[in-house]
Amino acid sequence: WPALAAPGLPVVAGGRSAGARVACRTAGDLGAVAVLALSFPLHPPGKPEKSRAGELLGSGLPTLVVQGGNDPFGKPAEFPPGPYDLAEVPYADHSFHLPKKAPLGQDEAVSLLTAAVRDWLRARG
């Protein structure tokens, strides 16, 4: 993918779920300047003792995690303190889907996700 980057433009490595884990592990070696981790699988569902926080904390790059408020792979409150930013999509699951009785709609959830990413990227110049 470095061949696709225009010379001089910064590259952000990103992924969702397992792809977020890969992005955290490989971004530095690939020359990325930051990591975008959507639905980072902090632990297997129901097994918080099997934390994957080390992968998240080990990127060494500015990182944004966007996590669903009801993600069984790790709710935002379960994430350890660290050098990353965390944005929550309330009520959302691992795929950012909302339950039918959620007080906000799917379009609003997508807007929250995209606004969080946009604002975070803008803050980085």
What would the DSSP string read from start to end of 80-125? PP-SSEEEEETT--TTS---TT-SS-HHHHHHHHHHHHHHHHHHT-
Write the pLDDT tens digit of every residue in 11-33. 999 999 999 999 999 999 999 99
**Average pLDDT in the 105-124 region?**
96
Residue closest to 120 by CA, chosen among 1, 31, 47, 12: 12
**Average pLDDT in the 27-48 region?**
96
Tell the CATH topology of 2-123.
Answer: Rossmann fold (3.40.50)
**Average pLDDT in the 87-113 region?**
97
Query: pTM to 2 decimals?
Result: 0.92
Domain boundaries, the chain: 2-123
pLDDT of residue 45: 97
pLDDT of residue 5: 58
